[in-house]
Structure 1
């Protein structure tokens, strides 16, 4: 079920009313409702893969109990590895099996060996598998590191794993935040409800007006890159940067907003990364839950930056390569991760990887300085260039795309594949970016204007634009569903 579908707009009010009106103050019944609703939400896509969620839930629930029960580190580690092997095994089979087989065949053929049978399987990638497996593993890790005690309430734990607002594309939550909230008694708060509605509204705008409007242009340019001049190719990958940002941050806003409707506060997943002043700051603000997961469960256990420079650089490379591989079973994502490691390392070596914190640019004034503007443009350009690998179907396509940018430099106007005026899209992006800058101090308050008239105008324009762009006949799934 998609957040931007009629089905969801019917589903959500039904669950909300049942949760607060019929089951108020009945925690167990609320858990049953949310868990059932979550399974319906996921099963709407393909009910067969509910068994994978249930299997991951059962394994990590009992692993958590066993880790806590064991007296020796050796036995505790054995149970932890059971969780890792099981969850990574699910990912390995459903997401990476064919990738490894095809890569092995290609490598063999490079050495002159011809392999007749490929052993590849027609495996459908279960939506959200990269997210919920990481979420359940984090629970086992936290118990192993004694940051958390296991729960004996299977219903609460199952609800934590399958919580529908963030089930298929995050944020990837830790049990210390989400599970503890699920287990606590909640009261309906009007301000939390209105804040949730505002976030849902802004998330829908990002997805349906920004991301979905740009999708046909980006698809056309990347599909036919060999026929376009460099100016159009630059346009294509630049628009893709805005598309993927609107798509994924829009999903996260809707997820966080929906959770608020049920008295749950999820972690922030995007903190205006388009205004980052270097690549390190970008990764502190983009897909925060995944970056945090890698830092806590891989980077720090490897030694983090508190080791020799050589080992710290090794750790950085490992994290970015794993991050790339997490995004998809394609060498394009691995190269995308490697590219980010290469541009991150100089920032790290200069000691500038932690200098930007707090409010995004212009903390003491309304406008960024000339230096900040230059930093933002430079960082955005670097990140945008990397997305050529992220968006291309193959490594060959990515390098040919880049080659054509630099070898066929010319300026030609681009015609929208559906015949719309491109100037309207440029104006839309400029206005969107400007609005994001205005609200940059708090990613959870997209309509925080003190003036009631200004706030009312903002609501009206956003709702009107969403309705204008809405088309239920167009299948616009979220980009990160494929990961």
Structure 2
């Protein structure tokens, strides 16, 4: 069930009415209806994988209690590593086994040893990377005694399976979400209205921006060998906006949907393409994952407490693991490596936390420098996205090589695309709307909100009719 589907448009109001009008007696009934809705929501993808979700929930729930009840550090550590091992084991089998088996076979073949690896070719359970990380953060927090183990199984089950965040995040923390599910929620009209605004803006990002850009980006990447420099540059830019509109649009819909039920989720995007350096970009992009790796991998490895060598080592580990988290393909590893290389000069000069404040603009030289930094950061990010989008490293290298050597800048492919030059205008309008609303959660609230809502709905109706793409990119992770 997609957020941008008719089935979800029917599902959400039904759950909303049941939640507030029928099962609103206490927090247990509220949580129960959300759990049932979440399991139904997940089963719409493939009901057979419900057992994985239930097993992961039971494993982490009982492991946390056993850790808390253990009288020795040795037993607590045993339960921690047992839980981590089983969780990552399931993730490894479904997501990475074929990749490692095929890569090892290719390595042996390169040395003249002919092998035929046994591949499982398993279907990747949707959302497995996300709900696995939900559970891991919980048991790790229990181990370090940051929180106490949750004894109410209904409350904990909702923390893991809550449908707005179940299949593509944000990656929640028990410290943030569990306190909210442990109390009865009361309907708040203003919060619900904010949720509706955020849902509509998320749909605009997905249907109007991401799906429109996908039409062009997919055509260029699939035929890059016959494209000239202008088409290849535009193709890369359009993919950058496709993945941003797609993923941040999903996050906006998730956060907005959750507000309808009186629950706040972690902010996942903060206008990342207005970042002034790559460090700021990663503080603004997929915030819940970046902060997860910081808190549960980077800091335990020593963080920034050691010398420069430790900082560099830990930074590269974080980015490489982040790349590998996204998918079982060497292209994601290179994507992570590129971002680590981008980050390195800032780290070496101790400037990785230089741009922490909000962007201030005026008619001065400093503002010109800010704009150039934003454009430069976007260019670097867009080049890295080429590896993220390409099917293989050779395809990504070939794409970039042709992009910087085929110096023909005629509108080769735009002339026969559905949206022609209007697509360029559409993206520019989107950038300006976000720029002038970058201090807001979403641009539709505030003055003249009903006019903005009307225009947004008109755009959804006008372009949604022609949308060829339903699935969100991050469902594959």
Q: In which range does the TM-score fall when normalised by the shorter chain?
A: over 0.9
Counterpart residue number, 2:431: 433
Task: Tell me how far apart the structure 2 counterparts of residues 471 and 28 of structure 1 sit (CA, whole Å).
Answer: 41
**Paired residues, what number?**
477
TM-score (norm 2): 0.97
Task: Tell me how far apart the structure 2 counterparts of residues 418 and 23 of structure 1 sit (CA, whole Å).
Answer: 54
The alpha-carbon deviation at position 460 of structure 1 amounts to 1.0
- Unmatched runs of 5 consecutive residues or more in structure 2: none
CA contact (8 A) 2:134 2:173 kept: yes
Counterpart residue number, 2:25: 25
Q: Over residues 435-468 of structure 1, what are the superposed CA-to-partner deviations in whole Å (9 max), with x where a residue is unaligned?
A: 10111113x242233x3xx322211110110011
Task: Tell me how far apart the structure 2 counterparts of residues 160 and 316 of structure 1 sit (CA, whole Å).
Answer: 30
Query: Within the alignment, does 1:479 sit opposite 2:473 as a pair?
Result: yes
The alpha-carbon deviation at position 319 of structure 1 amounts to 0.3
Q: 1:363 to 1:73 in 2, by over 3 A?
A: farther
Q: 1:3 to 1:365 in 2, by over 3 A?
A: farther
Task: Tell me how far apart the structure 1 counterparts of residues 33 and 366 of structure 2 sit (CA, whole Å).
Answer: 48
Counterpart residue number, 1:156: 155
CA contact (8 A) 1:362 1:368 kept: no
Structure 1 segment 388-467 matched on structure 2, within 5 A: 388-416=386-414, 419-442=417-440, 444-449=441-446, 451=447, 454-467=448-461
Q: Over residues 166-219 of structure 1, what are the superposed CA-to-partner deviations in whole Å (9 max), with x where a residue is unaligned?
A: 100000000111111111111100110000000000000000000011111111
Matched position secondary structure for 1:422: coil
Q: Larger deviation: 22-31 or 313-322?
A: 22-31
Q: 1:217 to 1:419 in 2, by over 3 A?
A: closer
The alpha-carbon deviation at position 28 of structure 1 amounts to 1.3
Matched position secondary structure for 1:19: helix
CA contact (8 A) 2:216 2:417 kept: no
CA contact (8 A) 1:217 1:417 kept: no
Matched position secondary structure for 1:176: helix
Q: 1:367 to 1:456 in 2, by over 3 A?
A: farther
Task: Tell me how far apart the structure 1 counterparts of residues 163 and 40 of structure 2 sit (CA, whole Å).
Answer: 9
CA contact (8 A) 1:25 1:186 kept: no
Task: Tell me how far apart the structure 2 counterparts of residues 423 and 475 of structure 1 sit (CA, whole Å).
Answer: 21
Counterpart residue number, 1:204: 203
Q: 1:41 to 1:126 in 2, by over 3 A?
A: same
Matched position secondary structure for 1:314: helix
Q: Over residues 213-248 of structure 1, what are the superposed CA-to-partner deviations in whole Å (9 max), with x where a residue is unaligned?
A: 111111110011011112211111111001100000
The alpha-carbon deviation at position 418 of structure 1 amounts to 6.7
Query: Within the alignment, does 1:230 sit opposite 2:229 as a pair?
Result: yes
CA contact (8 A) 2:323 2:333 kept: yes
CA contact (8 A) 1:274 1:380 kept: yes
Matched position secondary structure for 1:96: helix
Task: Tell me how far apart the structure 2 counterparts of residues 51 and 471 of structure 1 sit (CA, whole Å).
Answer: 36
Counterpart residue number, 2:294: 295
The alpha-carbon deviation at position 472 of structure 1 amounts to 8.6
Q: 1:459 to 1:120 in 2, by over 3 A?
A: same
Q: Over residues 350-408 of structure 1, what are the superposed CA-to-partner deviations in whole Å (9 max), with x where a residue is unaligned?
A: 1111122242x117899981011000000000000001100000111111111111232
Question: Which of structure 1's runs of 4+ aligned residues deviate more than 4 A?
Answer: 363-368
Task: Tell me how far apart the structure 2 counterparts of residues 31 and 186 of structure 1 sit (CA, whole Å).
Answer: 10
Matched position secondary structure for 1:4: coil
Structure 1 segment 4-403 matched on structure 2, within 5 A: 4-115=4-115, 117-359=116-358, 361-362=359-360, 369-403=367-401
- Unmatched runs of 5 consecutive residues or more in structure 1: none
